[in-house]
Amino acid sequence: MIWAGVAFGGLRETGYAWLLAIFPLLSIVFFVKGIALFKMAKGIPVSTSETDKAEQKRIGKWFGITFGAEALGIFIGINLVVNLGYPELTLPVMALVVGLHFYPMAKIFKRSVDYYLATFSTLFALCSIVFTLRKMMPANYILAFLGIGLAVTTSCYGLYMARQATKWSNN
């Protein structure tokens, strides 16, 4: 929803902003699927083997480190571009850090889909940085490009996860 909001900021003065309505609808689907997954998880016995406990501890540790690094990266990145006189790069730099944080997630969770999410998010962010620095299009179009790119990318990820949840619930 955040990236759809960024896209709306770029499209609000055009006749195309209504096209973004799909993203709140997808958010509702993801929310409902998430609730169903939590309910389903209550019926699954918790593994007590030492191997599983160690794996859960490893995942939790690296998940926390990755999100801490992401928050720090966003903080440093935004301060850097603002202090260098490029405040218009705030959202593209934030998107870049968000995209990059999915690379370690692929390894942590052993999911190849995270590599796709990371790559496409990072590419949209890098293109937005280049478009901004070279003034290749108006700022609102760059916001629309960035927002739509990341909204579509993260929505595809959400659809993948919803599909996985459906597979798990059918087994």
Structure confidence by residue, pLDDT tens digits, 11-69 = 888 888 888 889 999 999 999 888 888 888 777 777 778 888 898 899 999 999 999 99
Buried b (16+ CB within 10 A) or exposed e, 19-46: ebeebeebeeebeebeeebeeeeeeeee
Task: Give the tens place of pLDDT for each residue, 104-115.
Answer: 999 999 999 999
Note the pTM of the prediction, 2 decimals.
0.87
Domain boundaries defined on the chain: 2-39+49-170
